[in-house]
Structure 1
Amino acid sequence: MKLLIIEDDIALANTLARRLTKHDFKSYVVNDVNEILQQCQILRPDFVLLDMNLNGVSGLKFIADIRAFLPASRIVLLTGFASIATAVEAVKLGADDYLSKPADTRLIVQTLLGQNGMNEQTLNTDTMSAERVEWEHIQQVLKVNDGNVSQTARQLNMHRRTLQRKLQKRPVLK
């Protein structure tokens, strides 16, 4: 089982590769956004673990191209800032699943193998706290505005600096 880990954090990528090798994955690591598509063509992995933020470049931008090169591969997006908006967007673009960091090795393996229900932990809206609902709403409005923080702040009737502070915080899990 060939796995391509696309992660800009070299230490994390190497740790993931070591851990997943123990679970019968032959792991390869790509840290440079300019090599992603080339390595997909060369390696033809069965699985792709793609980070959401690659040195300031959205991993979402690569999903459709990876899917075009690897129609049968399982693509899992891994992110430190999970939101319903990005999960939905990732799936629309061709990702098979979506995980939020930190994710333990067992959960990553289960998700790569398709043994974990899509976004059960991340997208359960029945038990979300008010803080989580606010985070999700901000993410959706930000997406509609193509990442424009000033425009998003105006639409949310919020000061731009307040919005920036909220965006810098890690989202509440529930």
Structure 2
Amino acid sequence: MSTLENLPENERSLLLVDDDKAFLSRLERAMERRGFAVRSADTVAQGLAAVAENPPSFAVVDLRLEDGNGLEVVSALHEKRPDARVVVLTGYGNIATAVTAVKLGAVDYLAKPADADDVINALLASGETKPEPPENPMSADRVRWEHIQRVYELCERNVSETARRLNMHRRTLQRILAKRAPR
């Protein structure tokens, strides 16, 4: 695994694209502390504009954004700068989108919430070695809770519609939503 210190200053550019502003802000600060020159965007359009203006060496892109699919940013960056290392983040992944992300040029695909160390390990991993698995991966209960929250938000916080789409009883869903997130 290479380290950031081995890279020249002009090769430390990083583009972060995520519509979760709180997560984006935390990740931006963490990556700057680790030596990256960070630019951030919270829409596909801003991400594409940043790539067109000055393609970065590294990128961390959320899969689903408010105005479209983050894979558009991955594809545009790979066209402009084939050597760029891109990690795709998602709160709800599946094998098909992971394969598509890798075909478009991503080097890894991480589940949210990923911490800065997981992201750096994925960005800087060489082709011969795989990054270490996360120290504290999300539990199955947490993954389930995240999925339910995502569907709930996509259904505009409508409990009945969310329950229908998840094939779950409405009262069961209400109890789950009333609890704190599992660890």
TM range (shorter): 0.5 to 0.7
Aligned residue pairs total 132
Alignment of 1:48-63 (within 5 A): 48-55=59-66, 57-63=68-74
Does residue 165 of structure 1 match 2:166? yes
CA distance in 2: counterparts of 1:67 and 1:107, whole angstroms: 22
Structure 1 residues 163 and 94: alpha-carbon distance in aligned structure 2, compared to 1, 3 A threshold: farther
Residues 1-174 of structure 1 mapped to structure 2, 5 A cutoff: 1-55=12-66, 57-114=68-125, 117=130, 164-165=165-166
Whole-Å Cα distance in 2 between the matches of residues 77 and 164 of structure 1?
Answer: 26
Maintained 8 Å contact 1:77/1:95: yes
What secondary structure sits across from 1:96 in the alignment? strand
CA distance in 1, matches of 2:59, 2:24: 12
Once the two structures are superposed, what CA deviation does each residue of 1:37-64 show, in whole Å capped at 9, x if it has no partner? 2211223211010001111522123322
TM-score (norm 1): 0.65
Paired with 1:118 and 1:57, the residues of 2 have a C-alpha distance of 29
Structure 2 counterpart of 1:117, one-letter code = K
> Structure 1 stretches (4+) deviating beyond 6 angstroms?
118-121
Q: 2:73, 2:117 → 1: CA distance?
A: 25
Is the CA contact (8 Å cut-off) linking 1:75 and 1:97 kept in structure 2? yes
Q: 1:164 Cα deviation (Å)?
A: 2.5
The one-letter code of the counterpart of 1:28 is R
Q: 8 Å contact 1:97–1:119 — kept in the other structure? A: no
CA distance in 1, matches of 2:28, 2:52: 19
Query: Which structure is larger by alpha-carbon Rg, 1 or 2?
Result: 2
Q: Is the 8 A contact 2:121 2:132 kept in 1?
A: no
* Structure 2 residues not aligned, in runs of 5+: 1-11, 135-139, 144-161, 168-183
Q: Which amino acid in the other structure matches residue 117 of structure 2?
A: R
Unaligned runs of 5+ in 1: 122-128, 133-160, 167-174
Q: Deviations over 1:133-165 (max 9, x none)?
A: xxxxxxxxxxxxxxxxxxxxxxxxxxxx88831
